[in-house]
Amino acid sequence: MPFTPLHVGPGLFIKALLQGSFSLMIFGWTQILMDIQPLLVMITGEGHLQGFSHTYLGASLIAVLAALTGKHLSEYGLNRLAMVRDNGLRIRWWVAFASAFIGSFSHLILDAIMHTDVQPFYPFFTDNRLQGFMSIPALHKLCLYSGLVGAGLYFVVRWFLRYRRRRPE
């Protein structure tokens, strides 16, 4: 996939299911970090387009970096948006790491299905058995529809949880 937007669709669906146990902001930050290396290759014309960042080893390193940096960036951004003072909103470390790893591995899997030059198990194996698992239009639809369903489901679950808390037992 060219860059981040279609990768966010599955993230919205996961956010709907996991709610506060998943950070969509850290997931999105991870998507951006995953595509820095391909962007640099496009700009410079040098290197392997879907290189080390699109391997499980590279995706794992990016996930750690995304969790460590994204937790603080996300907390700052969310607190500024909500205009929360003092301690404000906090993202737990396990949520940061889970969100980053889900983000990097889902990115890798989606790109491995689409791109012929992804080598997910490099340096151990150079083959990509996921490539062509589904057609590119079907993959795009999967990402788009999972995002639409996820966004709707997110608000339904939030409404249900608020309604349930307010209702006297």
Tally of domains within the chain: 1
41, part of any domain: yes
Q: What is the pLDDT of residue 105?
A: 95
pLDDT exceeds cutoff 50 at 123:
yes
The Cα–Cα gap between 15 and 7 comes to 13
111, part of any domain: yes
Kindly indicate the confidence band of residue 71, based on its pLDDT and cuts at 50, 70 and 90.
Answer: very high
Domain of residue 58, residue span:
18-136
Q: Which amino acid is at 118?
A: V
Average pLDDT over residues 4-10: 81
The Cα–Cα gap between 51 and 123 comes to 11
**Spatial contact of 3 and 35, defined as CB atoms under 8 Å apart:** yes
pTM for the full predicted model: 0.84
